[in-house]
Amino acid sequence: MPKLNILVGTMYGGALDVAEQVKPLFEQAGYQVDIAEQPTLEDLTDQGGVTLFCVSTTGSGDFPGNFVPFVRGLRDKSPSLTTLRYGIIALGDSSYGETFCGAGRTLDALLEEYGAVRLGERLEIDAMETFMADDAALPWVEEWIESQQLKVA
């Protein structure tokens, strides 16, 4: 069974909640799903699998504290990620203006820099518009599984 790891960056649990809500959709699609709440580089899914990031933004476009070790690992080790296929769900609040979804956007740029391949577009969930992040995440994941032909079962 192929693996799908969900790497979470969260301050208040919203991004973790999204990860837990979308997990069954990937299980139904045939994946063994693990959620990493304290992610490190070792949590990136092995070759052949897919990694999903659920990352909110704090401070002024900053990464949540639990996600800082992952980003530090990326910047320190500059790994080649050419076999990594990933998706991103970024949580933010457009009332923060220019730093809207800053962490998700920075992460996306970093992964691209190291050669990883994003499948589809990044989902950005705006707390100003969407009260429950799941309401945006669940249909997006369903569509993502379809459009990227991720179903294996």
**Contact footprint for ligand FMN (CB under 6 A):** 10-15, 56-61, 64, 91-93, 96, 99-102, 127
**Smallest distance from the beta carbon of 110 to ligand FMN, in angstroms?**
17
Q: Give the pairing type, strands 85-92 and 32-36.
A: unpaired
3 state DSSP class of 129: coil
Give the residue among 62, 47, 52, 48 at the shortest CA–CA distance from 10: 62
Torsion sign across C-alpha atoms 102, 104, 109, 114 = positive
CB of 131 to ligand FMN, least distance (A): 10
* HSE value, Cβ hemisphere, 13 Å, CA-based, for 60: 1
Report residue 104: phi and psi, to 5°. -60, -40
Pick between residue 49 and residue 102 the one whose CB is nearest to ligand FMN. 102
Which residue, 110 or 127, has its beta carbon nearer to ligand FMN?
Answer: 127
Least CB distance from residue 103 to ligand FMN, whole Å?
Answer: 8
| CB-nearer residue toward ligand FMN: 14 or 49 | 14
Q: Please, what is the minimum distance in Å from the beta carbon of residue 137 to ligand FMN?
A: 11
Residue nearest to ligand FMN (CB): 92
